């Protein structure tokens, strides 16, 4: 579920992280199998008709293994949120901190969201059946909203850093809180991308572009 719309750059051999070992590869394969099994079953039967035992059996693993990787259970499996996953918060911070010179934090966040979920046609979450499942299942929408809301602290801090104001600045805290509501607000519209742009156009009026270099 990230990232920036810019083309990925080749990793620097001097700074690239080492390739994952066998144990990490096995964990990743298990998580992928569980996520794929869950989504397949949810789309076939409906979210409420599928149990965690069904998903574990479909992925040929144990229920205890499922909860080890996805402590939040069924909701997390829809979104691929594994235990200890800080991807959203880390990626939001990177989107602001690593933005191109001359790009405002608000515009960087617009591009960030344009590269994710239903706002990106190449995302696995853009699959029509999955989008409809989330939209018509209140517990899934609430889960998705909460997963963004818990990123408020890191996003507020990096926005304050970008604005050169104290970390507890109320204005940047308010901006972070509203930005994190955008996915839920925009995704409820027929044209989610247009709604996303409409919201960010209005936000941009309250956050001037940085001065030219």
Cβ(92)–Cβ(112) below 8 Å:
yes
pLDDT digits (tens, 9 = 90+) for 173-208: 999 999 999 999 998 888 989 999 999 999 988 765
pLDDT of residue 5: 26
Q: Specify the CATH number for the domain of residue 72.
A: 1.10.10.60
pLDDT tens digits for 69-120?
999 999 999 988 877 778 899 999 999 999 999 999 999 999 999 988 888 8
Mean pLDDT of all residues in 121-131: 73
- CA angle (46 as vertex; 194, 187 as ends), nearest 5: 10
Q: Is residue 3 part of a domain?
A: no
50-54, 134-138, 149-153, 163-167: segment of lowest average pLDDT: 134-138
- 144 and 123 both lie in a single domain: yes
Cα–Cα distance measured from residue 192 to residue 190, given in angstroms and rounded to the nearest whole number: 6
Q: Per-residue pLDDT tens for 24-39?
A: 899 999 999 999 999 9
Q: Which residues contact 127 (CB under 8 A, 6 or more apart)?
A: none
Taking alpha carbons only, the member of 56, 62, 65, 63 closest to residue 83 is 65
Position 211 pLDDT exceeds 70:
no
CA-wise closest residue to 119 among 204, 209, 178, 188: 188
Give the confidence band of 18 by pLDDT, cuts at 50, 70, 90: low
The verdict on 103 and 64 lying in the same domain is: no
Among 57, 158, 62, 75, residue whose Cα is nearest residue 112 = 158
Residues 50 and 153 in one domain: no
How many other C-beta atoms can be found within 10 angstroms of the C-beta atom of residue 195? Answer: 17
pLDDT of residue 208: 59
Query: Do residue 104 and residue 171 come from a single domain?
Result: yes
For 149-182, what is each residue's pLDDT tens digit?
Answer: 999 999 999 999 999 999 999 999 999 999 999 9
At residue 210, does pLDDT exceed 70? no
Co-location of 64 and 156 in the same domain: no
Residues in the chain: 213
């Amino acid at each position: 579920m990230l990232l920036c719309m810019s083309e990925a750059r080749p990793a620097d051999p001097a700074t690239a992280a080492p390739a994952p070992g066998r144990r990490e590869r096995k964990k990743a394969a298990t998580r992928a199998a569980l996520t794929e099994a869950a989504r397949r079953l949810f789309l076939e039967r409906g979210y409420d008709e599928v149990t965690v035992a069904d998903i574990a059996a479909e992925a040929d693993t144990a229920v205890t293994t499922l909860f080890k990787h996805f402590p939040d259970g069924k909701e997390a499996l829809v979104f691929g949120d594994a235990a200890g996953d800080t991807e959203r918060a880390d990626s939001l911070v990177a989107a602001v901190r690593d933005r191109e010179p001359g790009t405002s934090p608000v515009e960087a966040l617009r591009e960030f969201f344009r590269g994710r979920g239903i706002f990106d046609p190449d995302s696995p979450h853009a699959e029509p059946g999955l989008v409809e499942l989330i939209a018509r299942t209140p517990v899934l929408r609430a889960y998705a909203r909460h997963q963004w809301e818990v990123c408020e602290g890191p996003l507020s801090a990096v926005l304050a850093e970008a604005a050169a104001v104290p970390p507890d600045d109320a204005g940047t805290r308010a901006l972070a809180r509203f930005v994190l509501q955008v996915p839920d607000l925009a995704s409820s519209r027929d044209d989610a991308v247009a709604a996303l742009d409409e919201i960010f156009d209005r936000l941009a009026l309250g956050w001037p572009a940085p001065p030219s270099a």
